[in-house]
Amino acid sequence: MSQTDTHYQLDTPKLPDGTKLLIVRAPYYKDIADDLMTGAQKAITDAGATFETIDVPGALEIPSAVSIAANSNKFDGFVALGCVIRGETTHYDTVCNDSSRALSLLGLQGVCIGNGILTVENAKQAQVRADPKGQNKGGGAAEAALHLIAAKNRFGKSTQRRSIGFLPDTEHFDIA
């Protein structure tokens, strides 16, 4: 991002009392994850919401942790925080693509997620993006989750998931 680039930021949405988020963090690059966490925590508390945190080994485990926690119905939204720095193998592409795709699929199922998994070429890029006094991507991910929670509150909080595919033959099977 150059010095002349500007980005419009939405105002923080008004949320009902008791709004609670889960921050799922992969501290593989701990200093980067700590900066992302600082930004996310501030954005959530500034919005009047509360949060819990959980750490997982890496970015690939974040979507699974979000999915497990989403099934508990204890949280209104989720913030995914981590960092993937390009290495010498194609593992970088797998981690970036699969973690992002899995979070997007959860979002399409109605789970309110702010994706703060940085995907960068080097540690310097990660530091600039994670810095809470700089680009503050952790805070941005939390803000995204807050906006999705507000949208879900506005349009309905139904957590019922629609089945995709064939319906079971209830005439021949005793399915309760």
What does the alpha-carbon distance between residue 69 and residue 64 come to, in Å, rounded to a whole number? 9
Can you read off the two tokens belonging to residue 172?
């021949």
Domains (range + CATH), the chain: 20-155 (3.40.50.960)
Stated pTM of the model? 0.85
pLDDT per residue as tens, the chain (176 positions): 455 577 788 999 989 899 999 999 999 999 999 999 999 999 999 999 999 999 999 999 999 999 999 999 999 999 999 999 999 999 999 999 999 999 999 999 999 999 999 999 999 999 999 999 999 999 999 999 999 999 999 998 555 545 555 555 555 555 55
Helix (H, G, I), strand (E, B) or coil at 125: helix
Q: Which residues are part of the catalytic machinery?
A: 91
Helix (H, G, I), strand (E, B) or coil at 93: helix
Per-residue b or e along 44-79, where b marks 16 or more CB atoms closer than 10 Å to that residue's CB: beebebebeeebbeebbebbebbbebbeeeebbbbb
